[in-house]
Amino acid sequence: MTPQTYYGFSKWFYLGLLAVAIGMVCIFFANNKNKSKLMENGYFVFILGLVGIISEYVDFATVLFVFVLISGFVLLINKIFIRANSTNINTKHYIYYAREFFPLVLLVWILRAFLFEVYQIPSSSMRPDLTVGDFVLVNKFIYGIREPFTNKAIIPIGKINRGDVIVFKDQQVKNRDLIKRVVGTSGDVITYKQKRLTINGIHLNYIPNGQYAYSDTYPAPVGKIDFKNDKYIEDLLGVKHSIITWDEVPSLNVNAVYDFKNKSNCNYVSNDEFSCTVPNGFYFMMGDNRDNSEDSRYWGFVPNDAVLGHAIYVVANLYDIHRFLIKIH
pLDDT-flagged residues of the chain (< 50): 1-7, 84-89
pLDDT of residue 207: 97
Which of 71, 124, 169, 180 does the annotation list as catalytic? 180
pLDDT of residue 70: 83
Q: Which residues does 83 contact at the CB level (< 8 Å), separation at least 6?
A: none
Catalytic residue check, 180: yes
**pLDDT 10s digits, 183-233:** 999 999 999 999 999 999 999 999 999 999 998 887 878 788 889 999 999
Phi and psi based region of residue 300 (left: phi greater than 0; alpha: psi -120 to 50; beta: remaining)? left
> Candidates 2.60.120.620, 3.40.50.2300, 2.10.109.10, 3.40.50.300; correct CATH number of 121-327?
2.10.109.10
CA quadruple 102, 106, 107, 113: dihedral, nearest 10: 160
Using a CB cutoff of 8 Å and minimum separation of 24, what contacts does 83-88 make? none
**pLDDT 10s digits, 47-72:** 888 888 877 777 677 777 788 888 88
Characterize the bridge pairing of strands 165-169 and 177-184.
antiparallel
The residues spanned by each domain of the chain are 11-116, 121-327
0.85 surpassed by pTM:
no
Count other C-beta atoms under 10 Å from residue 4's C-beta: 8
Catalytic residue check, 293: no
pLDDT of residue 268: 95
pLDDT of residue 96: 80
Which of 125, 251, 293, 296 does the annotation list as catalytic? 125
Characterize the bridge pairing of strands 302-303 and 116-120.
unpaired
